[in-house]
Structure 1
Amino acid sequence: MKFRPALLIPAVGALVAGLLVASPAEAVGSQVITGTVAGPGGAGNVGPVRVELISVDRGGNTRVVRFVNNIPDGGAYSFRVPLNGKKKTNKLSRPYRLRIVAAPSSGEARSWYWRGRTGAPTTGGRHLRDATAITATKSAPFRADFRYSSIGGTAPNGTRLTVTAAPPTYSGGNDARRELDIPGCANTYATTQVTGGSYRVDFLPFSPGDKRFMVAARLGTDERWNNSFGSCFDVQDYRYSRSNMIALDQGGTNYPVSVGASGNQLTVRGTFKGFKATPQGDRWVTLREASPRVPILDSPIVAEKQAASSTGSTTFYNVAPGRYYVELGRRTGCADWYASRYTNNNTYFKGLDRGSERWKTFPYLSKLSGGENSGLEGIARRVQPNPATSAAQGRKPAGGKGWMYRKHCKALGAGAIKVVEIGSPGSGEKRTSLVSKRGGVVKGHVSRAPGRTNKEMMVTLSSTDGKRVLRTDLTDGAGNFYVAGLAPGRYKVTVNADSWRGIGRTFKGRHFVTVKSGRTRNAGNLRFGD
């Protein structure tokens, strides 16, 4: 294993047998940070390692102060550090962190940080924020021993395995949880591809009884965590519990891995009261994993599809075990084709940054450059989620001069949401029902300076609570809008003056409105000065 030369080594010290040793003159006012390095059964495939003494400077910058290379399994390291303080009985070093680094395996770097107290390592942390700050004192050397182990076993050929571990703590707020390798859940220690029906991952921080490891196995489109769970959060019971996690053995842990389709089905029946459901807005069903401490709309979407028009039902197959938000008519991202009052919007869609989007507006497909499988016409035909087809976009729309593709799907219902638990693989089919009632409405008018159009401008009502989905509308030929399908609550009003890019512009008028269930609210006139 090759490492770069030392960054900083005091001139008065000497490196003897891999250890940094102080001269007699240096010993005054200094102390030693020392420890041993040991893994299971000769350390497996780890080989010699490197221990680094790290300083965190003002502003959060880090630097390697000293290091020791080529430490064998069972070997030791030592750093002498200066002590500060005027009183002889109260001398302390500056705080340091310790990192251990092994040679790369399968192209991946391997390193982690020491945690614990003097003479008692508790575990290791994948990143600097998990490291224990070590402060040496005059009374005795600070002892920081590194201990590591491994996990391995049988697994289907071709399986991609990811070994992760819960951080020592989830405290620190949303920012700290977002910085984890798997946001809000865990840090990754190794990823490997299974060949020959077996695997082994070495150099994992070890502490007796430390249950915090997870093994994610993916084969094709199927994924399992710790053999029985659907996700990192599912392993933790969605409350950061460690009861389902793996504790390593000192001599290495045998952990056979299985993976495959769950076989679970979820059938959702949607009912609509007081309105006729729109296909893209109201009949859309979404599954989100119910991530802990995360607003509903920030939780990841794992599956979505349109419910049948006749029954309002849809079925999701091979749903992984876990806890989900099932949403009816609460789609957050949607686009569709609409009849336009213009033959095109080429005045807007020009230049290097906008020219490639000209496919979004045209009188009929053959007016675009290219052909069925090429150019702008090819893009317009293939675009998702609602592809243009010759039958519809191949001719001018009734009541309009052309077509436009906008990030807008009309919804009339307020939507509905429910939490559903899916059991372990092989649990079978689960059924649930949701009812969406007619939503509230906010109407109004957009006016602009003479010579500026107020037609087909996007009006958006959004909520900041992370629970209510935004709703949109396009102004008609007179500049009027009618935003429907609103759940009760307070919304912010935004108008996109450029009509396409989603950039809100300053206007005079009502910027916030409160909506009541099934009621209509008039936002009045929204006046632009341009």
Structure 2
Amino acid sequence: MKLRAVLLVPALGALVGGVLVASPAQAVRAQQITGTVSGPGGAGTVGPVRVELLSVVRGGNTKVVRFANNVPDGGRYSFSVPLNGTKNKTSRPYRLRISAPATAGSARSWFWRGKNGKPTTGGRYLRDATVVKATKYGAFRADFRYTTLSGTAPAGSRITVAAAPPSYKGGKEARRELDIPGCANVYATTTASNGTYRVDFLPYGSGDKRYMVAARLGDDERWNNSFGSCFDVQNYRYSRSNMLALNPAGTNHPVEVGASGNHLTVNGAFRGFKPTAQGDRWVSIREAQPGVPVLASPVVAQKATTRAGSATFYNLAPGRYYVELGRRTGCADWYPSRFTNNNTYFKGLDRGPERWKSFPYLSKLSGGANSGLEGIARRANPNPATSAEQGKKPRGFKGWMYRTHCKALGAGGIKTIDISGTGNSRSTRVISKKGAIVKGHVSRVKGKTGTEMMVTLTSQDGKRVLRTDLTDGRGNFYVAGLTPGRWKITLNADSWRGIGRTFTGKHYIKVKAGRTYNAGHLRFK
């Protein structure tokens, strides 16, 4: 009798460290993605939730592959997903989303983040979600954890709960997509009608400091009780040291809001020229948001200085600011005109309502002091046409026109300052020196004078404020207040008779501080 050697292969796998592991010969066609849902800090207030397994399809859209409805607090969900190919390779990538019953003002869905068996937190949008893949070696465990943020707040205050994303990976493009661009995502907005607030179903991660609470009452706003903005909380460099870390059983965070009491006095100094009111003596306060150019930064306060160059801003919120003197990006004002009106331009459905911008004197407009076109002209900002001067023709001219133009002679000045805490008063000095001047002459075809044409000079680096001038009765202009650098010349860019009129002559000019240059003869048809 012959004995034959036989190789024994387990049919179900083998015990490795007490765990049954599939052998290479075993066909594992599918695997589980599973987990629990729990929120000690929000249990009883959220209600049954829905867990969805998503796949990302072409174009970045999502498709719900599996879902589990009515999962209670402390409950479990499980999805069976196929593995890839005959060799049971890792499954396709998925994302997990959890949603709670809708409630006013709250973001009741978010995406799971973490590692197999180790939840870390959640993300507001798909870009924050962790990729989940099933393997033949065992189920993928993804537990959802949520909690609550609540506390006292001044009655009637508007509460916003926001969180920084897990990362700002993706640069400016990713930061622009945030609910508060460049800063954070909003999870809830609510009103503390009875002196308290409560926001539940917030993703919880152990020690994860990324939440901010903003409270607004009238014109006053505070973030995390001590900061003026979402950026201020992050020290203007995406730091999380000032953010809130939630507790699994719920976090109590009393909210304060009120006037900051921070007063800033700007003392402007003008060197080598007599400042104009609207152009040179204008002060703008911009928040210095990270990664945002100065001229694109939001203006939080602005006003004209006194004749002595002083301006005080009251109750500025804590934060980092650009203080600009004589760097106004846009301005409109009434100017004496050599024309009785511009009604040829102000006609039709699109421009007809703007006819109030052009008249010989106010009573020639339709309506009265508080109605019609005259009423609009009298209320126009920044300089309402309410003085006796606009009630008659200006001497040496034929009428009035409202132009998007303010003359400036200085190059302007800028300074960055930090304001912290509350109840502080400080002052800063900003200097504006005489800028360069570009002169020239404008004419139309057949030698006609280019009267009251707008000439604009725009810096090529995008950091300096543009400057403008209107040609006089002979077609001459001088654009002043230019900082050193290369400038582009644009003709007739004021929307009166067309934007960016094609012309022959000098289109670019380079200047140095305090000098005068001639752009020559600019001709257009």
TM-score by length of 2: 0.91
Stretch deviating more after TM superposition (507-516 or 52-61)? 507-516
Is the 8 Å Cα contact of residues 296 and 466 (structure 1) preserved in structure 2?
A: no
Stretch deviating more after TM superposition (317-326 or 167-176)? 167-176
Is the 8 Å Cα contact of residues 44 and 202 (structure 1) preserved in structure 2?
A: no
Query: Which secondary structure state, in structure 2, belongs to the residue aligned with residue 43 of structure 1?
Result: coil
Report the alpha carbon displacement of residue 106 of structure 1 after superposing the two structures with TM.
Answer: 2.5
Distance, in Å, in 1 between the alignment partners of 2:132 and 2:448 is: 66
Over aligned residues, Cα RMSD in angstroms? 1.8
Report the alpha carbon displacement of residue 40 of structure 1 after superposing the two structures with TM.
Answer: 1.6
The reply to whether residue 180 of structure 1 matches residue 157 of structure 2 is no
The reply to whether residue 508 of structure 1 matches residue 516 of structure 2 is no
Report the alpha carbon displacement of residue 42 of structure 1 after superposing the two structures with TM.
Answer: 5.6
Is the 8 Å Cα contact of residues 298 and 466 (structure 1) preserved in structure 2?
A: no
Query: Which secondary structure state, in structure 1, belongs to the residue aligned with residue 395 of structure 2?
Result: coil
Is the 8 Å Cα contact of residues 455 and 493 (structure 2) preserved in structure 1?
A: no
Question: What is the letter of the counterpart of residue 161 of structure 1?
Answer: I
Is the 8 Å Cα contact of residues 456 and 499 (structure 1) preserved in structure 2?
A: no
Deviations for 1:71-130, whole angstroms, at most 9, x for unmatched residues?
1111111222222245x16x1322222111111222544111111222122221111111
Structure 1 equivalent of residue 138 of structure 2: 140
Structure 1 equivalent of residue 8 of structure 2: none
Report the alpha carbon displacement of residue 523 of structure 1 after superposing the two structures with TM.
Answer: 2.2
Is the 8 Å Cα contact of residues 266 and 317 (structure 1) preserved in structure 2?
A: yes
Distance, in Å, in 2 between the alignment partners of 1:117 and 1:502 is: 60
**Paired residue total:** 499
Match among 354, 357, 368 for residue 357 of structure 1:
354
Is the 8 Å Cα contact of residues 471 and 483 (structure 1) preserved in structure 2?
A: yes
Structure 2 equivalent of residue 216 of structure 1: 214
Stretch deviating more after TM superposition (370-379 or 505-514)? 505-514
Structure 2 equivalent of residue 307 of structure 1: 305
Match among 362, 378, 382 for residue 379 of structure 2:
382
| Structure 2 CA distance for partners of 1:80 and 1:521, relative to 1, 3 Å | farther
Structure 1 equivalent of residue 477 of structure 2: 481
| Structure 2 CA distance for partners of 1:432 and 1:350, relative to 1, 3 Å | same
TM-score by length of 1: 0.91
Query: Which secondary structure state, in structure 2, belongs to the residue aligned with residue 331 of structure 1?
Result: coil
| Structure 2 CA distance for partners of 1:139 and 1:524, relative to 1, 3 Å | farther
Report the alpha carbon displacement of residue 394 of structure 1 after superposing the two structures with TM.
Answer: 1.1
Deviations for 1:191-245, whole angstroms, at most 9, x for unmatched residues?
0100222111101110000001000011111110000111111111111110000
Report the alpha carbon displacement of residue 498 of structure 1 after superposing the two structures with TM.
Answer: 6.8
Alignment of 1:378-457 (within 5 A): 378-426=375-423, 428-450=424-446, 454-457=450-453
Question: What is the letter of the counterpart of residue 97 of structure 1?
Answer: R
In structure 2, the gaps of 5 or more residues are 1-26
Alignment of 1:226-245 (within 5 A): 226-245=224-243
Distance, in Å, in 1 between the alignment partners of 2:164 and 2:42 is: 27
| Structure 2 CA distance for partners of 1:446 and 1:140, relative to 1, 3 Å | farther
| Structure 2 CA distance for partners of 1:522 and 1:499, relative to 1, 3 Å | farther
Distance, in Å, in 1 between the alignment partners of 2:502 and 2:61 is: 40
Is the 8 Å Cα contact of residues 345 and 497 (structure 2) preserved in structure 1?
A: no
Deviations for 1:327-359, whole angstroms, at most 9, x for unmatched residues?
111111111011111100000000000000001
| Structure 2 CA distance for partners of 1:392 and 1:56, relative to 1, 3 Å | farther
Distance, in Å, in 1 between the alignment partners of 2:50 and 2:449 is: 67
Report the alpha carbon displacement of residue 187 of structure 1 after superposing the two structures with TM.
Answer: 0.7
| Structure 2 CA distance for partners of 1:506 and 1:84, relative to 1, 3 Å | farther
Structure 2 equivalent of residue 103 of structure 1: 101
Distance, in Å, in 1 between the alignment partners of 2:375 and 2:42 is: 61
Distance, in Å, in 2 between the alignment partners of 1:348 and 1:511 is: 26
Stretch deviating more after TM superposition (191-200 or 515-524)? 515-524
Is the 8 Å Cα contact of residues 111 and 123 (structure 2) preserved in structure 1?
A: yes
Structure 2 equivalent of residue 346 of structure 1: 343
Is the 8 Å Cα contact of residues 103 and 109 (structure 1) preserved in structure 2?
A: no
Is the 8 Å Cα contact of residues 285 and 300 (structure 2) preserved in structure 1?
A: yes
| Structure 2 CA distance for partners of 1:77 and 1:452, relative to 1, 3 Å | farther
Report the alpha carbon displacement of residue 169 of structure 1 after superposing the two structures with TM.
Answer: 1.1
Report the alpha carbon displacement of residue 519 of structure 1 after superposing the two structures with TM.
Answer: 1.4
Question: What is the letter of the counterpart of residue 132 of structure 2?
Answer: I
Distance, in Å, in 2 between the alignment partners of 1:498 and 1:307 is: 27
Stretch deviating more after TM superposition (230-239 or 134-143)? 134-143
Structure 2 equivalent of residue 31 of structure 1: 31
Structure 1 equivalent of residue 9 of structure 2: none
The reply to whether residue 494 of structure 1 matches residue 490 of structure 2 is yes
Structure 2 equivalent of residue 23 of structure 1: none
Structure 2 equivalent of residue 14 of structure 1: none
Distance, in Å, in 2 between the alignment partners of 1:510 and 1:409 is: 23
Query: Which secondary structure state, in structure 2, belongs to the residue aligned with residue 174 of structure 1?
Result: helix
Query: Which secondary structure state, in structure 2, belongs to the residue aligned with residue 40 of structure 1?
Result: coil
Match among 256, 264, 267 for residue 265 of structure 2:
267
**Which protein shows a greater Rg?**
2
Question: What is the letter of the counterpart of residue 95 of structure 2?
Answer: R
| Structure 2 CA distance for partners of 1:497 and 1:42, relative to 1, 3 Å | closer
Query: Which secondary structure state, in structure 2, belongs to the residue aligned with residue 229 of structure 1?
Result: coil
Is the 8 Å Cα contact of residues 457 and 499 (structure 1) preserved in structure 2?
A: no
Distance, in Å, in 2 between the alignment partners of 1:416 and 1:280 is: 15
Alignment of 1:25-174 (within 5 A): 29-41=29-41, 43-85=43-85, 88=87, 91-106=89-104, 108-174=106-172
Query: Which secondary structure state, in structure 1, belongs to the residue aligned with residue 59 of structure 2?
Result: helix
Structure 2 equivalent of residue 518 of structure 1: 514
Stretch deviating more after TM superposition (65-74 or 311-320)? 65-74
Query: Which secondary structure state, in structure 2, belongs to the residue aligned with residue 353 of structure 1?
Result: helix
Stretch deviating more after TM superposition (447-456 or 163-172)? 447-456
Report the alpha carbon displacement of residue 453 of structure 1 after superposing the two structures with TM.
Answer: 6.2
Question: What is the letter of the counterpart of residue 526 of structure 1?
Answer: L
In structure 1, the gaps of 5 or more residues are 1-26
Stretch deviating more after TM superposition (170-179 or 223-232)? 170-179
| Structure 2 CA distance for partners of 1:502 and 1:33, relative to 1, 3 Å | farther
Distance, in Å, in 1 between the alignment partners of 2:416 and 2:98 is: 43
Distance, in Å, in 1 between the alignment partners of 2:449 and 2:67 is: 68
Report the alpha carbon displacement of residue 508 of structure 1 after superposing the two structures with TM.
Answer: 3.0
| Structure 2 CA distance for partners of 1:99 and 1:451, relative to 1, 3 Å | farther
The reply to whether residue 329 of structure 1 matches residue 332 of structure 2 is no
Is the 8 Å Cα contact of residues 456 and 493 (structure 2) preserved in structure 1?
A: no
Q: What percentage of aligned pairs have identical amino acids? A: 73
